[in-house]
Amino acid sequence: MIEIEKNYDHKKVEEGKEQFWLDNHYFEAMREENLSKPPFSMIVPPPNVTGILHIGHAINTTIIDIIARYKKLSGYDVLFLPAMDHAGIATQAKVEEKLRQEGVNKYELGREKFLEETYKWKDEHADYITKQWLALGLSMDYSKSRFTLDDGMQKAVAHVFKTLYDEGLIYRGERIINWDPELKTALSDIEVVYKEDKGEFYYFKYWLEDHSTYLEVATTRPETMFGDQAVCFNPEDERYKDLEGKRVINPANGELLPLIADRYVDKEFGTGVMKCTPAHDPNDFKIAKRHNLKLVRILNDDGTMNEKCGEFNGLDRYICRDKLVEKIKSEGNLLKIEDITHNVAHSERSHSVVEPLLSKQWFVSMRKLADAVIEIQNSEDKTSFFPTRFADTFLTWLKNTDDWCISRQLWWGHRIPVYTDKITGEVVCSETPLDPEKYSQDEDVLDTWFSSALAPFAFLGWPEKTELLERYYPLDVMVTAYDIIFFWVERMAFEGVHFTKKMPFKKVYIHGLVRDEKGRKMSKSLNNGIDPFKVIEEYGTDSLRYALATNSTPGLDVNFSMKKVENAHIFLNKIWNASRYVLNLFPEDYVPFEIDFSSLSPLDSWILNERDKLIENVKANMEKYELGQAANYIYNFIYDIFCSNYLEFSKVTLNSDDENRKKETINVLYHCLKDILTILFPFCPFLSEEIYSYLPFHKKSLYEESYPLPYDVEYKKEDLNFAESLVESIKFIRNHKSILSLAPNYPLNLALYTDEKTYKEVYPYLKRFSFAKEITLLLEKKGNMVHYLSYDLSVEDDEKAKQAIAKRIEFLKDAIAHSEKLLNNPNFLAKAKKEKVDYEKEQYEKYTSELKSYL
RNA sequence: GGAUGCUUAGCUCAGUUGGCAGAGCAUCGCCUUUACACGGCGGAGGUCAGGAGUUCAAACCUCUUAGCAUCCACCA
């Protein structure tokens, strides 16, 4: 008798297991003993060292871990590589905030000291994140952990920059970029988020030079008027055609602006006249290029007005806006102010309003790089996406993307490896640092995604030719959420293709985001975030993992709630108890043996057949990353087939005196339980490992087992029918009692019309599960029989019992009508698949003959 | 403006090549049956968002309308 606690206690079960696996090196890739196995590789999308892991990270890493463990059991040498991201802007913003609260100014602190502070911050968070990973039970190869700013990455980044620079694919240029005035740095296009904001649309009078008349010009950003270089209209616009070449007075500063015609202007929009501010708007910039206009910047880096703005010099942009409008109004040149709702660009990190402005920055020239990926995606070597629709999302971006602004005016990050000779002024790009006495290095750092884009190969040692790279590149599958397809997946793709000539991953699996139970995004302001640690504390890692995996459909968001975790816990408790029952059945001298399929009892055939179907279904779905679907099959098998039916049936067998059959059943239970645990292991590793350790003749760990395969046998059809009819007839009797309002344990009389052999076989089961008082074997068929595949059954001749039969008749009539309709349709007979027609005929025969016997 | 996803039981969602609609929770009966009351058994509950089409057959394929959500672009 094994002493196992009555209830599943996740804390006791999970304690020490992760360490146990670590101690036995199960998570490590490329170990001597595994070198003959095929490799399988994945990396974790590196979390930012900015903060701690939330439930969104949990779903991502859980999915990867399930795949990793599944592949491991399926005979692969799995690499699951952990890494963290320095997250330039995000981390620097946090550290600056922290320093501000401590009353420290970063400029006074200086670059070196600031970076020291940031490294401290990074170390603290990295430690905590690692703890969270371990708590989530992740089987990452921690010995190979990487950081996007580590030495290897420094080399890789410098090499990539230098190469692209030499190829002319990285250039420095003056263009309109997105400027974050709070963090005082440039941003790439995708670091900008558009939000609907309420704003004002100001209409001003722009008088003609000769004061003969004025034009109505509208703007949402009056403060930029100091940078206006022209007023434009469409050349086709009859209203203004004659004005071309004349000049108007800028009401902000009295300067004269030329009137120019440009096709960009929409005749239908507003008044059809538009002011042109080349240094503060990308479209105006293009117009300026066409018309040779000057580029005048009117904002300082911190969002205040500069010296071009006269009396407004030094004022914040919004204060300036109000004061300027006030001034123009007082001069009689304000026509009206309309309230409008428009899309305003905000910084993804600081949330401040982004100013488009002219600035000298570094860019990656995208066309050639993107086209190379598009070409591969149109070939046989393409990377496949799950779900497939994301392949289009991926391609569309590549087709439309603009050059990538990669320089950031930050300190935390990879510094741009470009140097200027202090004497000659010569500009040099160098992979290795140059003498600071002779050269001054570019002050800026690179966009964080510039380094994380190299992850699939640089984390494996590139540009060195390492064994790791050789063996595991390209990655087998990239698992990530749809919100970073553009940030990360795209960039890994074109860097990978450019530097390794192949896509960096064979497959991409895209999952959704975790939302709260009402489908709202988890956010600090709503305070609806869920801390995975809390969930683990209350319900355990396995429940969390199971809840995340089961409730998700590929590519769709998951509405997460504690209730779902609680349900998972209840299910695990069920498994715990079922195992507890099975584990106590094994006699002292039990030794597992091979199943002899030639002499199986019908019920044992049935459960093994169900087991085989389970394995096929789970494997098929795992290969498609349909984890939720796979988990459903597991759930149904364990709950309905194994627990509710087979375990119950086994009690009858084990109470009989057929010693051979008892032995066989115990052995079948052993194999089923072991297989269940192995199949469950990827999803709920702690619980399955714990129960496994109680199993007789277990190995050191489930990790040393291999994934079960379906048995290559034909089960006897009549055995399977027998089991199915047993399940059905028990259900019938229970149902019958329910209709008659009889207690479930009310002793009924049953009559069976069948052969003696079946009677003998069925009797003990019916007796037990239907609380039959008496079960008679009928040699001659009488009325009121309910028909099952192997035999006919009737309950005692009660007046009310007819209700149950009536219900059955109802069902039969329906089913027959359905079949008749199909079979009477000549088109159906002619065009439907043969199997379907045969099946329908069979059904019809079966049901009509049953119905006849009731009438 | 362009694109995508979603709409199925009271709620949260599955539904794998088209073949008589499923689960969990909630609800309603009944049951302390020797693994499990974190349990067992049974019931009730659906015009698969609306419309049209293809097909012998549509929750599923095509078109269309509506609502919700998200992404991309962005007109001053």
Nearest-angstrom CA–CA distance, A763 and A745: 17
CB A262 within 8 A of CB A291: yes
Task: List the A592 CA – B34 C1' distance (angstroms).
Answer: 25
Q: Containing H/E element for A400?
A: helix A389-400
Task: List the A822 CA – B50 C1' distance (angstroms).
Answer: 29
And the tokens for A515? 């939302």
Shortest-distance nucleotide from A233 CA to C1' = B76
Q: Which residue is nearest to nucleotide B68 (CA to C1')?
A: A519
Task: List the A393 CA – B2 C1' distance (angstroms).
Answer: 13
Shortest-distance nucleotide from A519 CA to C1' = B69
Task: List the A326 CA – B76 C1' distance (angstroms).
Answer: 21
Q: Which residue is nearest to nucleotide B36 (CA to C1')?
A: A577
Confidence bin at A247 (pLDDT 50/70/90) = very high
Please write the tens of the pLDDT for every residue from A437-468.
999 999 999 999 999 999 999 999 999 999 99
Shortest-distance nucleotide from A642 CA to C1' = B35
The pLDDT of residue A552 is: 87
Mean pLDDT of A199-224: 91
Nearest-angstrom CA–CA distance, A357 and A255: 21
Nearest-angstrom CA–CA distance, A646 and A803: 30
Does the pLDDT value for residue A267 go beyond 90? no
Shortest-distance nucleotide from A550 CA to C1' = B14
Nearest-angstrom CA–CA distance, A455 and A446: 15
Does the pLDDT value for residue A599 go beyond 80? yes
The pLDDT of residue A485 is: 95
The pLDDT of residue A801 is: 63
Task: List the A67 CA – B63 C1' distance (angstroms).
Answer: 40
Shortest-distance nucleotide from A645 CA to C1' = B40
Nearest-angstrom CA–CA distance, A465 and A36: 21
Among all chains, which residue has been given the structure tokens 């939330």?
Answer: A54
Q: Which residue is nearest to nucleotide B15 (CA to C1')?
A: A629
Within 8 A by CB and 6+ apart from A738, the residues are none
Task: List the A734 CA – B29 C1' distance (angstroms).
Answer: 13
Please write the tens of the pLDDT for every residue from A107-144.
889 999 999 999 999 999 999 999 999 999 999 999 99
Shortest-distance nucleotide from A551 CA to C1' = B13
The pLDDT of residue A797 is: 60
Shortest-distance nucleotide from A831 CA to C1' = B56
Shortest-distance nucleotide from A518 CA to C1' = B12
Please state, rounded to an integer, the average pLDDT across all residues of chain A.
Answer: 92
Does the pLDDT value for residue A799 go beyond 70? no
Q: Which residue is nearest to nucleotide B14 (CA to C1')?
A: A629
And the tokens for A48? 């930012």
Q: Which residue is nearest to nucleotide B2 (CA to C1')?
A: A396
- Higher-scoring residue by pLDDT: A367, A790: A367
Task: List the A256 CA – B9 C1' distance (angstroms).
Answer: 71
Which sign, positive or negative, has the C-alpha torsion A841, A843, A849, A855? Answer: negative
Task: List the A846 CA – B44 C1' distance (angstroms).
Answer: 29
In one-letter notation, the amino acid at residue A474 is P
Q: Containing H/E element for A530?
A: none
Does the pLDDT value for residue A270 go beyond 90? no
Task: List the A71 CA – B62 C1' distance (angstroms).
Answer: 40
Shortest-distance nucleotide from A648 CA to C1' = B35
Task: List the A558 CA – B66 C1' distance (angstroms).
Answer: 25
Confidence bin at A241 (pLDDT 50/70/90) = confident
Task: List the A761 CA – B32 C1' distance (angstroms).
Answer: 30
Quote the percentage of chain A above a pLDDT of 90. Answer: 74
Q: Which residue is nearest to nucleotide B3 (CA to C1')?
A: A393
Task: List the A835 CA – B55 C1' distance (angstroms).
Answer: 18
Please write the tens of the pLDDT for every residue from A603-650.
999 999 999 999 999 999 999 999 999 999 999 999 999 999 999 999
> Which of these ranges, A26-40, A410-424, A730-744, has the smallest mean pLDDT?
A730-744
Confidence bin at A788 (pLDDT 50/70/90) = confident
Q: How far is CA A200 from CA A15, A555, A679, A695, in A?
A: 60, 39, 61, 73
Task: List the A573 CA – B29 C1' distance (angstroms).
Answer: 26
Shortest-distance nucleotide from A281 CA to C1' = B76
The pLDDT of residue A55 is: 93
Q: Which residue is nearest to nucleotide B76 (CA to C1')?
A: A274
> Which of these ranges, A315-329, A590-604, A768-782, A835-849, has the smallest mean pLDDT?
A768-782
Task: List the A121 CA – B61 C1' distance (angstroms).
Answer: 55
Does the pLDDT value for residue A240 go beyond 90? no
Shortest-distance nucleotide from A573 CA to C1' = B38
Nearest-angstrom CA–CA distance, A54 and A61: 11
Q: Which residue is nearest to nucleotide B75 (CA to C1')?
A: A269
Shortest-distance nucleotide from A646 CA to C1' = B35
Shortest-distance nucleotide from A847 CA to C1' = B20
Q: How far is CA A211 from CA A144, A249, A253, A257, A776, in A?
A: 74, 9, 16, 14, 114
Peptide bond into A45 cis (omega under 30): no
Asked whether this complex has an ipTM greater than 0.90, the answer is yes
The pLDDT of residue A800 is: 60
Shortest-distance nucleotide from A811 CA to C1' = B20
Task: List the A818 CA – B56 C1' distance (angstroms).
Answer: 13
The pLDDT of residue A646 is: 95
Please write the tens of the pLDDT for every residue from A512-564.
999 988 888 887 777 788 889 999 999 999 999 999 998 889 999 999 999 99
Within 8 A by CB and 6+ apart from A371, the residues are A398
Mean pLDDT of A785-795: 82
Please write the tens of the pLDDT for every residue from A342-391.
889 999 888 899 999 999 999 999 999 999 999 999 999 999 999 999 99
Among all chains, which residue has been given the structure tokens 């996007």?
Answer: A148
The pLDDT of residue A793 is: 85
Task: List the A850 CA – B47 C1' distance (angstroms).
Answer: 32
Q: Which of A3, A2, A4, A13 is nearest to A569 (CA)?
A: A13
Bases on strand B under 7 Å from any protein CB: 3-6, 12-16, 19-20, 23-25, 29-31, 33, 35-43, 55-57, 70-76
Does the pLDDT value for residue A249 go beyond 70? yes
Nearest-angstrom CA–CA distance, A793 and A795: 7
Q: Which residue is nearest to nucleotide B5 (CA to C1')?
A: A556
Shortest-distance nucleotide from A342 CA to C1' = B74
Q: Which residue is nearest to nucleotide B57 (CA to C1')?
A: A828
Q: Which residue is nearest to nucleotide B18 (CA to C1')?
A: A832
Q: Which residue is nearest to nucleotide B39 (CA to C1')?
A: A574
Task: List the A803 CA – B30 C1' distance (angstroms).
Answer: 18
Task: List the A15 CA – B68 C1' distance (angstroms).
Answer: 44
Task: List the A817 CA – B48 C1' distance (angstroms).
Answer: 23
The pLDDT of residue A1 is: 58
Mean pLDDT of A492-512: 97
